[in-house]
Amino acid sequence: MKNKVAIIGSGFSGLSAACYLAAAGFEVEVFEKNAQFGGRARQFTTEGGFRFDMGPSWYWMPDVMVDFFRDFDLRVDDYYTLTPLNPQFEMVFARDSVCVPSGMDELRMLFEEIEPGAGQKFDRFMEAARFKYEVGMKDFVTKPCHSWWEFVDLKIVKSAIKLNLLTDFRSYVRQYFKDPRLVALMEFPVIFLGAAPKDIPAMYSLMNYGGYGLGTWYPEGGFVQVVEAMVKVAKNLGVRFHANRPVRRILLEDGRASGIVLDDETVYCDKVVGSADYQHVESLLPKDLQNYLPTYWQQRTFAPSCLIFYLGFNTQIDGLKHHTLFFEHELEGHVADIYSHKKWPEKPLFYVCCPSKTDSQVAPAGCENVFLLMPIATGLEDGDAVREHYFQQMMTRLEKHTGRKGLAQHIIYKRSYCVQDFMQDYNAYQGNAYGLANTLKQTAVWKPSIRNKKVKNLFYTGQLTVPGPGVPPAIISGKIVAQEIINYKEFGYEKIV
């Protein structure tokens, strides 16, 4: 049992941590409450032959995946095939729509066409975004964030002004662009960070480079291919996986985690990593040993939950792209509904993914695989009636955009997923879908700690701690916590506090 690590949850952070720990010589076991591995990135198949990714659908920041596989002397294309999307997506406005091309030259031309002079401003914006990406992703987000002293690094200090940490994203974008469509295009990537642009530091324009600059991709067969690839890497490194095994309690002995308690057995180990939702992992401990009281979580700004519909159509839908964003209403108003009022939005924005436009494997011939996703506040009541109300709204707008009246009559499969499902399936606090929002006051050291402050060998990873929400940050989070444990193994806890 020497140096055995039990990981609770098999989302991207848990899979990442498992791989790095196993490669370093640890005995690693992963325990997942659901039947499939991958956390929110599960997939299900219907009797009619539709295959739906349940969670992530945007493959951005491809270099993070390249780096992950390279760390194990592997390559992405050893495991799955990536298809570049062109256009990357379409954004639908009140009076027109804009298709976002994949090339930087084409993007510059698009910006210039919409707003004279915006082409050169686009170049300057993206060059600044590239700099932030290179510094942020290589030097900033890789810190364990125990202390601000970690950031007293010559490169980071010299870059502080260029990182725009104290400027909000909304003001920053408006320094470059005036046309509302261009503003919406540049603000859209930070929605993945879970807060209004006015509450996000301008440093996160790095997301624009990670998306627009590095391109939008699609893993053939669906996002589950990424999960399956990471599971294969982990198994080849000796990691053991256990599905349908919810953890009920963390076993403690002399101020240390000595194992985990399942329904039918106790598994003893030397260290525990919580990759499930942070607050849920804390609930597996006595209250006096938890890092944060319930009031802490109540005061946090959470990224949204979602209302999702998985739809199978028995017809093909002309005029629909792989990714389509319905932004006919103003972004700030929608975000205000989510964060200020904690209510169902009056004028919702939503997103449509149609992977069958790119991948024939995910729908029967002549059919279309579609999911609708509407960001909403966490903690809402989400009964069938309110779900159906917003479904009708989204379908009306989808039919208008595609020019297909009566499109809903072609639905042969329909499933909804919302707040209560996130709570039930993932133990997600108030049904959050994306963790904590990356506001300035919830960045770096101000995020929940990756270590339990009272139980020495208990660690946390995932979207509620550093570096934040999203697939690439989750993978980085797993690597960060693995390195913490590796240091723990080599030097002892007291010497690295």
Report residue 236 as tokens.
């080849």
Question: What's residue 497's pLDDT?
Answer: 31
d(CA 378, CA 323): 24
Q: Which DSSP symbol is given to 71?
A: T
Report residue 342 as tokens.
């904690």
Place of tokens 């690693």: 28
Report residue 60 as tokens.
């951005």
d(CA 89, CA 322): 7
Residue 117 has pLDDT above 50, yes or no: yes
Contact at 8 Å (CB) between 196 and 106?
no
Average pLDDT, the chain: 93
Q: Which residues pair with 309 in a beta bridge?
A: 372, 416
Averaged pLDDT for residues 125-149: 90
d(CA 463, CA 471): 9
Residue 4 has pLDDT above 60, yes or no: yes
Question: Which amino acid, one-letter code, is at 303?
Answer: A
Split at pLDDT 50, 70, 90, the class of 163 is confident
Question: What's residue 494's pLDDT?
Answer: 38
Place of tokens 């839908």: 317
Query: What pLDDT, in 10s, does the model give residues 273-310?
Result: 999 999 999 999 999 999 999 999 999 989 889 999 99
Architecture of the domain delimited by 301-426: 2-Layer Sandwich (3.30)
Split at pLDDT 50, 70, 90, the class of 338 is low
d(CA 407, CA 368): 12
Q: Where in the chain is the domain with CATH 3.50.50.60?
A: 4-79+221-299+437-496
Q: Where in the chain is the domain with CATH 3.30.519?
A: 301-426
d(CA 468, CA 435): 7
Averaged pLDDT for residues 340-354: 87
Split at pLDDT 50, 70, 90, the class of 156 is low
Q: Where in the chain is the domain with CATH 1.10.405?
A: 105-214
Q: What order of strands is seen across the sheet that includes strand 305-313?
A: 97-100, 89-92, 323-326, 350-353, 368-376, 305-313, 411-417
Query: What pLDDT, in 10s, does the model give residues 381-426?
Result: 999 999 999 999 999 999 999 999 999 999 999 999 999 999 999 9
Looking at domain 4-79+221-299+437-496, does it have CATH number 3.40.50.360? no
Q: H or E stretch including 433?
A: none
Sign of CA dihedral 439, 57, 210, 330: negative
Query: What pLDDT, in 10s, does the model give residues 66-89?
Result: 999 999 999 999 999 999 999 999
Report residue 155 as tokens.
């490169």
What distance lies between CA 123 and its chain's CA centroid?
Answer: 27
Split at pLDDT 50, 70, 90, the class of 332 is low
Query: What pLDDT, in 10s, does the model give residues 219-262?
Result: 999 999 999 999 999 999 999 999 999 999 999 999 999 999 99
Place of tokens 């028995």: 314
> Cα-Cα-Cα-Cα dihedral of 176, 182, 188, 189, to 10°?
-60
Question: What's residue 36's pLDDT?
Answer: 98
d(CA 180, CA 185): 9
Report residue 358 as tokens.
């790119």
Question: Which amino acid, one-letter code, is at 102?
Answer: S
Global confidence as pTM: 0.95
Contact at 8 Å (CB) between 135 and 163?
yes
Contact at 8 Å (CB) between 169 and 204?
yes
How far, CA to CA in Å, does 183 sit from each of 186, 364, 440, 447? 5, 38, 21, 29
Length reported for the chain: 497
Residue 89: closest CA among 108, 107, 116, 77: 107
Residue 261, phi then psi, degrees to nearest 5:
-105, 120
d(CA 316, CA 319): 10
Question: What's residue 410's pLDDT?
Answer: 98
Query: What pLDDT, in 10s, does the model give residues 164-213?
Result: 877 899 999 999 999 999 999 999 888 767 778 888 889 899 999 999 99
105-214 sits in which CATH class? mainly alpha
Peptide bond into 116 cis (omega under 30): no
Q: What is the DSSP string of 89-148?
A: EEEE-SS-EEEE-SSHHHHHHHHHHHSTTHHHHHHHHHHHHHHHHHHIIIIITTS--S-G
d(CA 100, CA 146): 40
342 or 362: which leads in pLDDT: 362
- Calculate what percentage of the chain has a pLDDT beyond 70: 94
Question: Which amino acid, one-letter code, is at 281?
Answer: V
